[in-house]
């Protein structure tokens, strides 16, 4: 369910993994592509599928993008990874498709990004898994007194410069927010022009968070 074993669960939530498994077979999915937090239910589907006369789906478990806050302390476990992921129950931990330009800048500005530390750095994660997947290069604009502009054609180059403290966290955050806004701007324009999209966005905003 994407929850840790220590979370309080209601008896009704016993049914939820069963419903998730049923989805796989109802959709006739030969391959299940979900985050690592859903791995347990995928394994459950593989175990019970043949027993119920179905198939054993292949599992493709994807990396879970970190939340923007400081990661929790402790060893690297699946439960800890669940705690670290973006969560709609904490709006400042994630970037949403309908966020305003100002909201994205604010969230990125306050995000966890210690100077020179690449491990478990959410701003670097956004660059690695989102920005460099969409842009051929990332340009960091900064005044000449701070070294002038930088341009990176690969994530590895950017990470190396950051770890060697040639790139300040605030400069990286500013560029990250700008590029994220470029990606999300078409969605904003759609929401402004389409009444159907506006109605859908309004409906989604009313959904209750149960965590």
Which residue bears the tokens 């340009």? 139
**Count of Cβ atoms closer than 10 Å to residue 133 Cβ:** 9
Distance in angstroms (rounded) separating the CA atoms of residues 211 and 207: 12
Q: What is the pLDDT of residues 92-140, one digit of tens each?
A: 888 988 889 999 999 999 999 999 999 999 999 999 999 999 999 999 9
- The structure tokens listed for 105 are 């800048």
In tens digits, the chain (211 residues) has pLDDT values of 555 556 666 777 788 888 989 999 999 999 998 888 888 899 999 999 999 999 999 999 888 888 999 887 766 665 655 665 656 567 788 898 888 999 999 999 999 999 999 999 999 999 999 999 999 999 999 998 888 999 999 999 999 999 999 999 999 999 999 999 999 999 888 888 888 877 877 777 776 555 5
* pTM of the predicted structure, to 2 decimals: 0.74
Mean pLDDT, rounded, of the chain = 86
Q: Report the half-sphere exposure of 49 (CA within 13 A, side-chain side).
A: 23
**Which pair of structure tokens corresponds to residue 30?**
């030969």
Long-range contacts of 181-187 (CB under 8 A, 24+ apart): 181/101, 181/104, 181/105, 183/130, 183/134, 184/95, 184/97, 184/99, 184/104, 185/101, 187/97, 187/98
- Which domains are seen in the chain, by residue range? 11-62 (no CATH), 90-205 (1.10.240.10)
Which stretches of the chain are assigned E, i.e. beta strand? 31-35, 58-62, 138-140, 150-152
| C-alpha–C-alpha distance, residues 75 and 73, integer Å | 7
């Amino acid at each position: 369910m994407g929850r840790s074993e220590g979370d309080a669960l209601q008896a009704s939530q016993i049914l939820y993994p069963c419903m998730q498994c049923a989805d796989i077979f109802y959709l006739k999915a030969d391959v299940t592509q979900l985050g690592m937090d859903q791995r347990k239910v995928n394994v459950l589907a593989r175990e019970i599928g043949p027993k119920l006369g179905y198939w054993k789906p292949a599992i493709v478990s994807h990396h879970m993008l970190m939340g923007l806050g400081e990661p929790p302390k402790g060893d690297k476990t699946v439960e800890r990874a669940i705690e670290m992921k973006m969560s709609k129950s904490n709006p400042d931990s994630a970037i949403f498709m309908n966020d305003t330009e100002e909201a994205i800048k604010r969230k990125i500005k306050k995000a966890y990004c210690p100077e020179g530390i690449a491990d478990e750095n959410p701003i670097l994660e956004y660059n690695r898994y989102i920005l460099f997947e969409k842009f051929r290069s990332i340009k960091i604009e900064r005044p000449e007194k701070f070294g002038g502009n930088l341009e990176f054609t690969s994530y590895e180059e950017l990470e190396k410069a950051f770890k060697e403290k040639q790139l300040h966290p605030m400069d990286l955050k500013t560029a990250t927010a700008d590029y994220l806004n470029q990606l999300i701007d078409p969605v904003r324009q759609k929401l402004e022009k389409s009444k159907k999209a506006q109605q859908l966005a309004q409906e989604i905003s009313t959904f209750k968070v149960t965590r």
